[in-house]
């Protein structure tokens, strides 16, 4: 195994997303907002912009973004939505689209998503359907959004049947990951986002997982390790998206832990005060490795190591630790039935043969999942 080393020095990091005809860059670094926004003048000369944000993020970051846009001559309208997963709904989508139309946003203008995953998913979907496609800029303000939801073009809203079941692929024209914006996150939100960081090591980069075990405190503190972690995650996702933009193949690997996670979120009513997405993902990651161990695929020491690392960071790793509680094994399996990876009613999971050795497992028997969940719930 080649140990993972921090290769990104101080300053700006640019990660290209190589999609033919729709390529774009991810700009990563501290205090780079105005510097990166200056590119919009060249990308969209004469364009208007609508800044879509939530009430919490607007108070923290919208004035600075508006000042940056004013410097490059981009006229902007601010549209503020309610924080939380409740905004990712049919009603929320209609309300946002009507606000964008009222702001006279045209095809060659810009929708700027300033916020976490909820804002990015909702604003991205609105940009995808408004006038059959408006240009999108992602400025993620949470760690989770910087390393996951802002990259790759997945947009959408939730349904009572499940999470992100209504949506579209709509690639941004630019992603600005200003890591200094993460300084305003609560400890809970930052740790939740960390689950999506360490996921990349568990998928196919054991060296990065090793590095995370040694450096997670520095990632939280905001030094160059934070920029490096975001860059590694973005490069990994960009490479997978370039190979499989529409999740017809190995892009599904990015859903490691998410089949469990989305079921838990559905059972808690997508209430982020009860269960934050990253907390559900952390539980899902630990479950995926223990389920792989139960099936005889993964060494037990790797499953234990994953759980211990999540515990050390302050993330839940068992069903009993879910902040919002959970349902029965039958209820969890039923919630999984609407997972996007289900094919003809048969469950698909991302499982692991060890740390950094994840794979797509088709046709997993529901009875095996149910028996595993019953053991997990009984174990406490």
Distance CA 95, CA 380 (A): 43
161 as an active site residue: the answer is no
| CA 375 to centroid of chain Cα atoms | 29
Q: Which residues contact 325 (CB under 8 A, 6 or more apart)?
A: 268, 274
340 as an active site residue: the answer is no
343 as an active site residue: the answer is no
Select which of 30, 163, 255, 341 is catalytic: 255
88 as an active site residue: the answer is no
4 as an active site residue: the answer is no
Nearest to 52 by CA among 98, 133, 106, 120: 120
Select which of 258, 290, 340, 341 is catalytic: 258
Select which of 135, 170, 199, 251 is catalytic: 251
258 as an active site residue: the answer is yes
Distance CA 322, CA 310 (A): 13
Distance CA 119, CA 124 (A): 8
Distances (CA, A) of 352 to 144, 256, 288, 346, 356: 22, 9, 7, 19, 8
Select which of 154, 226, 228, 341 is catalytic: 154
Is the separation of the CB atoms in 162 and 266 below 8 Å? yes
Select which of 199, 228, 277, 290 is catalytic: 277
Q: Which residues contact 110 (CB under 8 A, 6 or more apart)?
A: 40, 44, 47, 48, 49, 50, 74, 134, 135, 136, 137, 173
Select which of 5, 132, 248, 344 is catalytic: 132
Q: Tokens 């879509």 — which residue?
A: 52
Distance CA 373, CA 319 (A): 9
Is the separation of the CB atoms in 334 and 345 below 8 Å? no
Select which of 88, 135, 262, 309 is catalytic: 262
104 as an active site residue: the answer is no
251 as an active site residue: the answer is yes
247 as an active site residue: the answer is yes
Select which of 245, 247, 265, 279 is catalytic: 247
Nearest to 233 by CA among 146, 294, 124, 106: 146
344 as an active site residue: the answer is no
Select which of 61, 170, 237, 309 is catalytic: 237
Give the residue numbers marked as catalytic: 132, 154, 196, 237, 247, 251, 255, 258, 262, 277
């Amino acid at each position: 195994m080649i140990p993972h080393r921090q290769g990104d020095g101080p300053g700006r990091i640019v990660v290209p997303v190589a999609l033919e005809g729709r390529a774009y860059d991810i700009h990563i670094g501290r205090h780079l907002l105005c510097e990166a926004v200056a590119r919009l003048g060249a990308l969209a000369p004469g364009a208007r912009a609508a800044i879509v944000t939530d009430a919490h993020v607007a108070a923290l970051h919208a004035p600075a973004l508006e000042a940056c846009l004013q410097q490059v001559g981009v006229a902007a309208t601010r549209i503020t939505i309610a924080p939380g997963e409740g905004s990712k709904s049919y009603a929320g989508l209609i309300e946002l689209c009507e606000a964008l139309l009222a702001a006279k946003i045209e095809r060659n203008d810009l929708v700027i998503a300033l916020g976490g995953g909820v804002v990015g998913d909702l604003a991205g979907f609105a940009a995808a359907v408004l006038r059959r496609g408006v240009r999108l800029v992602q400025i993620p303000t949470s760690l989770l959004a910087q390393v996951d939801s802002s990259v790759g073009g997945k947009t959408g809203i939730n349904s009572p049947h499940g999470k992100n079941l209504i949506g579209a692929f709509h690639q941004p024209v630019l992603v600005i990951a200003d890591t200094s914006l993460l300084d305003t996150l609560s400890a809970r939100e930052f740790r939740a986002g960390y689950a999506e960081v360490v996921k990349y090591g568990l998928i196919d980069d054991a060296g990065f997982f090793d590095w995370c075990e040694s450096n997670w405190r520095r990632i939280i503190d905001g030094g160059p390790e934070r920029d490096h972690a975001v860059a590694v995650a973005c490069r990994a996702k960009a490479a997978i998206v370039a190979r499989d933009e529409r999740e017809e193949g190995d892009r599904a690997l990015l859903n490691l832990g998410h089949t469990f996670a989305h079921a838990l979120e559905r059972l808690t009513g997508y209430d982020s005060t009860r269960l934050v997405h990253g907390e559900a993902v952390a539980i899902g990651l630990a479950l995926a490795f223990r389920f792989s161990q139960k099936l005889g695929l993964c060494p037990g020491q790797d499953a234990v190591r994953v759980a211990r690392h999540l515990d050390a960071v302050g993330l839940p790793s068992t069903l009993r630790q879910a902040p919002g509680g959970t349902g029965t094994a039958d209820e969890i399996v039923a919630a999984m039935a609407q997972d996007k990876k289900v094919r003809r009613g048969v469950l698909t999971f991302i499982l692991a043969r060890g740390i950094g050795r994840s794979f797509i497992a088709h046709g997993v028997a529901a009875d095996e999942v149910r028996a595993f969940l019953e053991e997990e719930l009984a174990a406490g």
